[in-house]
């Protein structure tokens, strides 16, 4: 895939995030059509629960989860007992996770936001389900917009949506 297209999709993801969509929605919806999911509303709904580190529990980063959802569209198995297909999908997810973690040092939302030290993987945090208000200050103190764009770049450089 051409770098210009990758960058265009990364910027689209950042734009979606800044419009108020969560990190997972921004990554997944900006690229789902490349993998055959043309319904943007469906893409947004499917990825809605993964924002804020899985329902704002600050666990696995929503931008990373968006990449993993794209991996499922690309080569996720829909056949029971398809061990080869499952293995291929898990390998792709692990590759994407390794690249994201290599760039940011963690896959854990709380660690990426500085709410917990890297490597600590906390079990209890503020579990208030209310999303943070999207103010200019919110965007300044959060690295999420950058991570959303980079998640798209990693996914599209790793996965060729034209091959299944």
The reply to whether 163 falls in a domain is: no
The reply to whether 148 falls in a domain is: yes
Residues in the chain with pLDDT < 70? 121-131, 163-164
Estimate to the nearest angstrom the gap between the alpha carbon of 30 and the chain centroid.
11
Q: Residue 125's pLDDT is what?
A: 52
- Residue 161: which residues within 8 A CB-CB, separation 6 or more? 1, 31, 34, 35, 74
**What distances in angstroms separate CA 154 from CA 27, 68, 72, 122, 125, one per listed residue?**
11, 11, 15, 26, 29
The reply to whether 164 falls in a domain is: no
Into how many domains does the chain fold?
A: 1
The reply to whether 137 falls in a domain is: yes
Q: For residue 57, what are the domain limits? A: 3-158
Q: Residue 31's pLDDT is what?
A: 98
Do 26 and 148 meet the contact criterion of CB atoms below 8 Å apart?
yes
Entry pTM: 0.87
116: which DSSP letter? S
- Neighbour tally for 33: CB within 10 Å: 15
79: which DSSP letter? S
Query: Chain-wide mean pLDDT for the chain?
Result: 90
């Amino acid at each position: 895939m051409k770098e210009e297209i990758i960058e265009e999709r990364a910027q689209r993801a950042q734009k979606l995030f800044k419009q108020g969509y969560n990190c997972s929605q921004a990554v997944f919806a900006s690229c789902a059509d490349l993998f055959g999911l043309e319904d943007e509303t469906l893409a947004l709904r499917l990825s809605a629960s993964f924002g804020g580190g899985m329902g704002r529990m600050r666990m696995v980063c929503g931008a990373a989860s968006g990449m993993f959802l794209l991996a499922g569209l690309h080569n996720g198995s829909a056949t029971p007992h398809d061990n080869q297909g499952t293995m291929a999908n898990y390998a792709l997810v692990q590759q994407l996770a390794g690249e994201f973690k290599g760039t940011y040092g963690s896959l854990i939302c709380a660690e990426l936001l500085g709410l917990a030290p890297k490597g600590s993987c906390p079990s209890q945090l503020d579990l208030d389900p209310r999303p943070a208000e999207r103010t200019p200050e919110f965007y300044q103190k959060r690295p999420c917009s950058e991570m959303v764009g980079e998640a798209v770049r990693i996914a599209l450089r790793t996965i060729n949506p034209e091959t299944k």
